[in-house]
Amino acid sequence: MPPLDLRSIALTLALSSAALTLMLWFVSRDRDHPIAGLRLWVLGAGMIALGMALNALQDVAPDIATRGAANVFITTSIAVVWSGVRAFQGRTAALVWPISVAILIFAMSLATLYLWPSFRWRVVLFSLMTGVAALATGIAFFRERRRYLLVAARFGGAPLLLLGVLMFARAWEALMNPNTPTSLTPTPINVLTYLLGGLVLLASITAMMMLVHGVRSAQLREMAFSDPLTGALSRRGLFARLPSWLAEYSRAPTVAVIDANGFKTVNDQLGHEAGDEMLRLLATSFRAEASADRLFARIGGDEFALLCPDESQCGDALALARDRCEAALDRRFPATIRPRPAFSAGLARIETASAEGVTAALKLADQRMYAEKRALQSMRATPDTLAAAGATR
């Protein structure tokens, strides 16, 4: 049986890495919806591909390229991916770390190639640096906290932790063996390093793509399920969230329908931009009272819905939001606006924990909201009518 050709393995892994890098680069071209850290990941993946390609040229190209630059690219690529993970998670990218790693690895490569030629110590130092970088990057992946990204983050982090252990094992074997074989000798540790190490790096690039896909999917859900004007859930988003919400809060769920009073007057007297601002102020007031156990959505032009686990929570939220909203509206809109911008609300119990039950409750709450609106209009009309009658006497 012919020995394993490690050059072929390295070249195959390099081509695979290059293909995945191109896919990452293509995704990064979307400038309208940028993803933090993605450009660093493209750079890191490209460096992995280049490092593996140079490794495949050992004993063909000069040592400074195949044993020096290749080591620099591979180890630094992992540090660049680490910076990309931090940026992706909203933390400081800390580019000083990959730059320092590149300088240190290059200096060690020059020293062990020309000043103090020693393949053994080159393996030891390179393996230790790569192991540290792999462990740090694997831990960074595991620090991802967004639930919909956890599987992808674990897929990227676990192999890197394994690579870190593997590189430490390689460093230990080289340290204990004065006659360390060359990296192209098909020893068990070399085969593991090329095969498993290369596959681990491919898995990391794949994990980056999975994370990007997860973020893109979340962005699409956000656009589909959120109201762009107010930031509240859209009607579609509300009904998409209903099954899980009703399953958790099925004892006495209540819905409130809220309608903006004076919206048409604001639109007519101050313009549609002022009307939009009125809706945003109303939505902001209710979102300030929203919590993990409540759903708030815009279900029509100037109508909103608030779902709470019970009626008392809905009543408390309406009272607090009313005070906050009316104060904000009084500050924003002139006193000449009549009727004064405000809102009316109606509550209804969700009798059946289903979409049909919510639809029925929305209809009933809507009727009660309009009854409150008519009552407010009649109360406002009475003083105006009396004033008019007095003026004619």
Would the pTM count as exceeding 0.85? Answer: no
DSSP output for 249-302? S-SS-EEEEEEEETHHHHHHHH-HHHHHHHHHHHHHHHHTT--TT-EEEE-SSS
Write down the CATH number for the domain with range 6-224: 1.20.1070
Over 293-320, what HEC string results? CCEEEECCCCEEEEEECCHHHHHHHHHH
Q: Which H or E run contains 342?
A: strand 342-349
Tell me the sheet residues that pair with 303: 259
Class level of CATH domain 235-382: alpha beta
Collapsing DSSP to helix, strand or coil, 68 comes out as helix
For the chain, the structural domain boundaries read 6-224, 235-382
Q: Which two tokens stand for residue 293?
A: 């156990």
pLDDT of residue 275: 84
Q: Which residue stretches of 89-149 are H helix? A: 96-110, 119-142
**In order along the chain (393 residues), what is the average pLDDT of each group of 10 residues?**
61 85 88 87 91 79 76 90 94 87 86 78 85 94 92 92 88 77 60 69 88 88 84 89 86 87 80 86 78 85 88 84 80 72 85 88 91 77 45 36
Quick: pLDDT tens for 297-322: 998 888 899 998 888 888 888 888 88
**Environment class of residue 251 by beta-carbon count within 10 Å: exposed (0-12), middle (13-18) or buried (19+)?**
exposed
CB 342, CB 329: distance < 8 Å: yes
Please enumerate in sequence order all residues whose Cβ is within 8 A of that of 312, keeping only pairs 6 or more positions apart, or say none: none
Quick: pLDDT tens for 350-372: 888 888 899 999 999 999 988 88
